[in-house]
Amino acid sequence: MKPRLRVALVNRLDATDVRVLSGATHFMVKALERRSVSVTSLGPMTSVWMKLGRYVSGAARLIGRRYDWIHSLAGAHELGKKFSAQLDKDSYDVIFAPLASAEIAYLKTSIPIVYLTDMTYAAGKSYYHSLSNLLPFTAVEGETIERRAITRASEVVTCSEWVAKSFREDYGCSPAHVHVVPYGANLDDPPTREEALVERDREVCRLLMLGVDWERKGGPLTLKILQSLLDAGLKAELTVCGCAPPAGLTHPNMRIIPFLSKSRPEEALKLRQLLLSSTFLIVPSQAEAWGFVFSEASACGLPSITRNTGGISSVVRHGINGLCLPAGANAGEYSAQILALLRSPGEYRSLCISSRDEYEMRLNWDLWAERMEKIFIVARDSTVSTTGVAVRL
């Protein structure tokens, strides 16, 4: 019987909670445990400095600036001490640090670290609105923490080639130690292939938009696409789930469903039914590091309509599990491609089948865990000095 890997999961949040980090770490832990990898979560962990940082963030907003309290040097030092003490209480083969740069930047340990993130600080600072207009000192702190976290790690993992490129070009990481491992679908009970590939009604084009941020997820463009389809004579409707357009913005063919929590069985079932009964998932995001909804749509045999930005093209492959249009495409270009698919039932059916194929062959957590276990073994066979320099044997 193969020996179990003993993995310490380091993250300041409760990484096993499905409500944390979009459920990502919850599903990661479950998948690793199915491979008999022993995962011990050392969080949640509080930081006095990070709590104080929230007040600094509020004060910064008063002068029109932003303070990134999550990536404060004082908070990172405090977390490093606390997690180092936790690690000393037991023995582990590997430390797994998902989305946890601040937690490992000042960690004192000889245990090899695998650092996973879907966004480097350099890539995010020039991309996400939430990391723009930062106070000068907080931008320096965030960059310092990212560089230290990468230096501490034996191996770094991300879900997209876009971020892997940032690791290599912005931080000088060796390609041999940068791994692209796609995320899975955050569904506790994914449909069977037979359930996912039931023929869908094409009499009405049912667009489903999922997301909590109307603007960033491309709500304005989605509404224009709906109208373009209607102007072309197609029967179409849009269901928006998880967010709402600005007050006063309505459309007779649009309905709004409040946020559905996967932690509540009845709401998770409703979300599943939406994914299985829609014609397309449509989320033409302005900014997106990955997008778990695209993996979930593929699990349900539902093609995605989206914009080629950030890490999206690593999850939605154009013509395979949806349409990934150029960043500058307008509503007419989206609607033209949607109409072409719906006017060719065979092509639409093939896209549904290949969407499910993508889930089975690439976008599921069991495959993610299989690859991660191999990366953990590589990391286990390396050592890291307490000064934070990775040494590969």
- 371 lies in a domain? yes
Whether residues 352 and 374 share a domain: the answer is: no
Q: Is the pLDDT of residue 3 over 80?
A: no
Sign of CA dihedral 209, 210, 214, 218: negative
Give pLDDT tens digits for 37-52. 999 999 999 888 877 8
DSSP 208-248: EEE-S-TTTTTHHHHHHHHHHHHHTT--EEEEEES--PSTT
Q: Are residues 171 and 202 in the same domain?
A: no
How much is the pLDDT for 61? Answer: 87
**Which residues 6+ apart lie within 8 Å of 160 measured at CB?**
118, 180, 289, 290, 310, 311, 313, 314, 315
Q: What is the pLDDT averaged over residues 355-363?
A: 98
299 and 171 in a common domain: no
Q: How confident is the model at residue 280 (pLDDT cuts 50, 70, 90)?
A: very high
357 and 370 co-located in one domain: no
Q: Is the dihedral of CA 55, 150, 374, 185 positive or negative?
A: positive
Weakest mean pLDDT among 1-15, 81-95, 362-376: 1-15
Q: Taking residues 83-112, what's their average pLDDT?
A: 97
- Express each pLDDT in 113-148 by its tens digit: 999 999 999 999 889 887 888 888 999 999 999 999
Establish how many alpha carbons lie within 13 A of residue 192's alpha carbon, considering only the half-sphere containing its beta carbon: 3
Residues 115 and 218 in one domain: no
CB 211, CB 242: distance < 8 Å: yes
Domain with 67, as residue range(s), is 6-184+365-392
Mean pLDDT, rounded, of the chain: 93
Looking at the fold, whether 276 and 336 belong to one and the same domain comes out as yes
Rounded CA separation 271/277 (Å): 10
Question: What is residue 62's predicted lDDT score, i.e. its pLDDT?
Answer: 86
**One domain for residues 53 and 170:** yes
Q: With cut-offs at 50, 70 and 90, classify the pLDDT of residue 18.
A: confident
What percentage of the chain exceeds 70 in pLDDT?
96
For residue 332, the domain's CATH number is 3.40.50.2000
Any domain includes 146: yes
**Does 316 lie in the same domain as 198?**
yes
Question: Average of pLDDT values for 291-307?
Answer: 98
Is residue 203 very low, low, confident or very high in pLDDT (cuts 50, 70, 90)?
confident
- Cβ-proximal residues to 40 (8 Å cutoff; 6+ apart), any chain: 6, 7, 8, 9, 90, 92
Pairing of strands 390-392, 382-384: antiparallel
- As a whole-number percent, the residues of the chain with pLDDT over 90 amount to 80
> How many residues are there in the chain?
393
Long-range CB pairs of 239-243 (<8 Å, 24+ gap) are 239/206, 239/207, 239/208, 239/209, 239/274, 239/278, 240/209, 240/214, 241/208, 241/209, 241/210, 241/271, 241/274, 242/210, 242/211, 242/212, 243/211, 243/212, 243/213, 243/214, 243/217, 243/219
CB-based contacts of 127, cutoff 8 Å, min separation 6: 119, 287, 310
- Number of domains making up the chain: 2
Model confidence at 263, in pLDDT bands (50, 70, 90)? confident
Q: In this predicted structure, what is the pLDDT of residue 385?
A: 41
Lowest mean pLDDT among 200-204, 287-291, 386-390: 386-390
**Sign of the alpha-carbon dihedral angle for 314, 368, 348, 267:** negative
Q: How far is CA 166 from CA 3, 68, 136, 150, 389, in A?
A: 35, 20, 21, 12, 20
Task: Say yes or no: 140 and 281 in one domain.
Answer: no
pLDDT for residue 66 is more than 50: yes
> Do 115 and 219 lie in a common domain?
no
Give the pLDDT score at 390. Answer: 45
Question: Per the domain annotation, does 1 fall within a domain?
Answer: no
In this structure, the answer to whether residues 91 and 179 fall within a common structural domain is yes
User: Residue 197: is it exposed, middle or buried by C-beta count within 10 angstroms (0-12/13-18/19+)?
Assistant: middle
Mean pLDDT to the nearest integer, 294-299:
98
Q: Rounded distance, CA 177 to CA 154, Å? A: 7
pLDDT digits (tens, 9 = 90+) for 146-155: 999 999 999 9
Reduced to 3 DSSP states, what percent helix, strand and coil does the chain have, rounded to the nearest 5? 45, 15, 40
The rounded distance, in Å, linking the Cα atoms of 261 and 13 is: 19
| Mean pLDDT of all residues in 246-269 | 91
Nearest to 237 by CA among 250, 227, 249: 227
Least confident range from 257-261, 281-285, 302-306, 354-358: namely 257-261
Mean pLDDT of all residues in 157-180: 97
Residue 116 lies in a domain: yes
Task: Looking at the structure, tell me whether residues 131 and 91 fall in a common domain.
Answer: yes
Beta-carbon neighbour count of residue 27 at 10 Å?
A: 22
Tell me what pLDDT residue 2 has. Answer: 60
